[in-house]
Amino acid sequence: MFRFSFAKFIRKIQIIFFYPYKYKGSFILSFLPKSILIEKSLIIEEDVNFSNIINFIGEGTFIGSRSVIGNCEKIGKFCSISKDVKIGMVNHPLNLPFTSPRLYQKKYKIVKKNLYDHDAIKPVVIDNNVLISSNVVIIEGVKIGEGSVIGANSFVNSNVEPYSIVGGVPARVIRYRFSNKRIKELLKLDYDNIDNLLATQNSDD
């Protein structure tokens, strides 16, 4: 049965008529939180769900449809996030007998004190130039390093090192994209200098 949602209707109006003027040079088909700072030349496809935690998306980043951006505060420049990716998913305590929040969070008025504090878990941070393939799940509290690649259908529950290629459940390092020397050079790049980035892209190294 179809149910009309006035809030969703207003959001759709904003996306269609207001976003092209507010975010000139970008192509955005999903609703963005008010607190977010976005740079130019973004592509955000339809039905991407953002939490209010996200506060920055860098220039040239792509986010595919039906992705969920949960406990994540930053997505860097020139990142490619495929469809159906889930970032910053809430974890549950495994050291308690019961994993239902109703039996460890005070707000449900069953237990008298919080037995596990979700707010203490740091948000995900995604550095520049990251490729996240489709159907990846990233648990909250991890950092995704610059230039890294995460293979499709992977489950990421630990930090991903710069310029590494990871995959699997849980995700493990498959290999590094470049030599240690080359990685150190790439980590010095200034992502605000597009000419320097293009020169690096076209170099023979």
Nearest to 183 by CA among 165, 167, 198: 165
Question: Which residue among the candidates 8, 22, 92, 172 is catalytic per the annotation?
Answer: 92
Residue ranges of alpha helices (H) inside the chain are 6-13, 19-22, 180-186, 194-201
Q: What is the pLDDT of residues 165-180, one digit of tens each?
A: 999 999 999 999 999 9
Cβ atoms of residues 50 and 67 within 8 Å: no
The fold of the 26-90+124-201 domain, in CATH, is: UDP N-Acetylglucosamine Acyltransferase; domain 1 (2.160.10)
- In this prediction, residue 205 carries a pLDDT of 64
**CB-based burial label for 64 (10 Å; 0-12, 13-18, 19+):** buried
Determine the average pLDDT of the residues in 75-96.
Answer: 95
Mean pLDDT of the chain: 92
Domain map (residue ranges) of the chain = 26-90+124-201
Q: What is the pLDDT of residues 115-161, one digit of tens each?
A: 888 778 899 999 999 999 999 999 999 999 999 999 999 999 999 99
pTM of the model: 0.89
- In this prediction, residue 3 carries a pLDDT of 65
Query: 162's torsion region: left (phi>0), alpha (psi -120 to 50) or beta?
Result: beta
- In this prediction, residue 8 carries a pLDDT of 72
Is residue 92 flagged as an active site residue? yes
Confidence of residue 203 (pLDDT cuts 50, 70, 90): confident
